[in-house]
Amino acid sequence: MLYLENPLLKLYLNLIGWVAFGFFLGHLLPRSYSTYLAKFLFFFGTPLSIVAFIRSANLSAAILIAPLTAWAAILAGGGLAWILITFVVGEERFKTLNRSPQNSPEYTSAWSLPTQGSFLLATMVGNTGFLGIPVTLSLLGSEHFAWALFYDLLGTAMGINILGVAIASHCGKSRQRQSWLIPLRAIFQNPALWAFGLGFVSRSLPLSPQIAELLTTGAWTVITLSLITIGMQLSKLNSLHNLKQVLACLVIKMLLVPLVIGTGLTFLGIAGVPRLVLVLQMAMPPAFGTTLLAEAFNLDRELAVTAIGLGCVSLLFTIPIWMRLFNFS
């Protein structure tokens, strides 16, 4: 009965089991199947789960801290990444200037502008939707679901569509020019945002026990499908490019930022489960959306892919750390 009594063990069994199943399916099925499943979840599945869970979530004015924390994490991750890039690139230039041209071959920097762009994106936005929300629900239940949802919708989603597009446009080889209306349109066309509004409005509407149970069952099914989708997407990752850069990225994204900002939340009076929810969201591996931006703007896709793959594996080791450090009032 340890499976039923230990939420962390239950999470790991579900997380590893369903992701592994998706990984197996990803090798059997064409690549387009994971795309179709992701689109189904984006347009239908995820909105359904949001409506179901938001009806039972505990909403209060304090919940607005969630998106503020998300933006603090995004800016902190980007700031630390920029400092590291500036230091390393400056050191490379210094070594190049002191290298004798007669005795040394032409030196090529490992930090090209597209690589810098992928590195920045991977340290700034995490997989808080398909991965962070299932982890939060499995460990902490639906009562504090809104904290994770606010973090994802008003933090991660806006960050990747506004700052993410701006950084990718600046650093990409193609240097595509994007209208500032495009990321804003993407935010307001996000079905999850509309589902949040519908779920909030419907909180006061009574449902029959049968319909409520059906809605809840469907929502948990969506969570399972999300984990399977992650496994299918991971099955397509086969790169270990720029390993040192990826490790530096994950240290910033999954260790430094959650530790520093999580400690800051404690001094601000945010404690208990809400703080743990925010720390877990901050500690998620880089978002799959970073690879989409890398492909669209010709950034370093191999770095983005490797960061996601190693980040998902690292998550299994970092969750117990955050549970230990921040699972106290």
DSSP state for residue 286 in the 8-state scheme? B
Q: Are 25 and 228 in contact (CB under 8 A)?
A: yes
Residue bearing the bigger pLDDT, 281 or 169: 281
> Which pLDDT score, from 0 to 100, does residue 179 have?
60
For position 3, what pLDDT does the model report?
Answer: 45
Within its chain, how far is the Cα of 108 from the centroid?
A: 32
The angle subtended at Cα 36 by Cα 35 and Cα 39, nearest 5°, is: 85
Instruction: Compute φ and ψ for 286, nearest 5 degrees.
Output: -55, 145
Residue with the larger pLDDT of the pair 62 and 215: 215
Q: How far is CA 133 from the centre of its chain?
A: 10
The residue type at 57: A
Q: Is 232 helix (H, G, I), strand (E, B) or coil?
A: helix
Categorize the per-residue pLDDT at 61 as very low, low, confident or very high, splitting at 50, 70 and 90.
low
Among 240, 273, 293, residue whose Cα is nearest residue 145: 273
Residue 69 DSSP SS3: helix
CA distance 280 to 282: 5
- Contact between 279 and 322 (Cβ < 8 Å): yes
Q: Alpha helix locations (H) across the chain?
A: 2-5, 7-28, 31-40, 46-54, 65-97, 113-124, 133-140, 145-151, 158-159, 165-171, 181-188, 191-201, 209-234, 243-251, 257-267, 272-282, 289-296, 301-326
Give per-residue pLDDT as tens, 281-313: 999 999 988 887 887 788 888 898 889 989 999
* d(C-alpha 118, C-alpha 67), whole Å: 23
Identify the residue whose tokens are 């880089």: 286
Over range 89-117, report the average pLDDT.
68
What is the predicted pLDDT for the residue at 2? 42
Confidence bin at 143 (pLDDT 50/70/90): confident
Q: How many CA atoms lie within 13 A of 155 on its CB side?
A: 31
pLDDT grade for 1, boundaries at 50, 70 and 90: very low
**pLDDT at position 246:** 92
Q: Is there a contact between 280 and 319 (Cβ–Cβ < 8 Å)?
A: yes
How far apart are the C-alpha atoms of 285 and 253, rounded to whole Å?
Answer: 7
Longest pairwise C-alpha distance within the chain: 82
Residue 126 phi, psi (nearest 5): -115, 170
Q: How confident is the model at residue 33 (pLDDT cuts 50, 70, 90)?
A: confident
The CA-to-CA distance between both ends of the chain, in Å, stands at: 27
Mean pLDDT for the chain overall: 83
Mean pLDDT across the stretch 95-116?
A: 66
Residue 328 neighbours by CB distance under 10 Å: 11
CA dist list (Å): 327 to 148, 191, 195, 280: 16, 32, 30, 11
Burial of 256 (0-12, 13-18, 19+ CB in 10 A): middle
- On whether the CB atoms of residues 229 and 37 are closer than 8 A, the answer is yes
Tokens of 120: 């920045």
3-state secondary structure of 212: helix
Q: Under DSSP, is residue 126 helix (H, G, I), strand (E, B) or coil?
A: strand
Query: Higher-confidence residue: 7 or 169?
Result: 169
The more confidently predicted of residues 173 and 218 is 218
Fold assignment, 2-94+110-201+209-326: Na+/H+ antiporter like fold (1.20.1530)
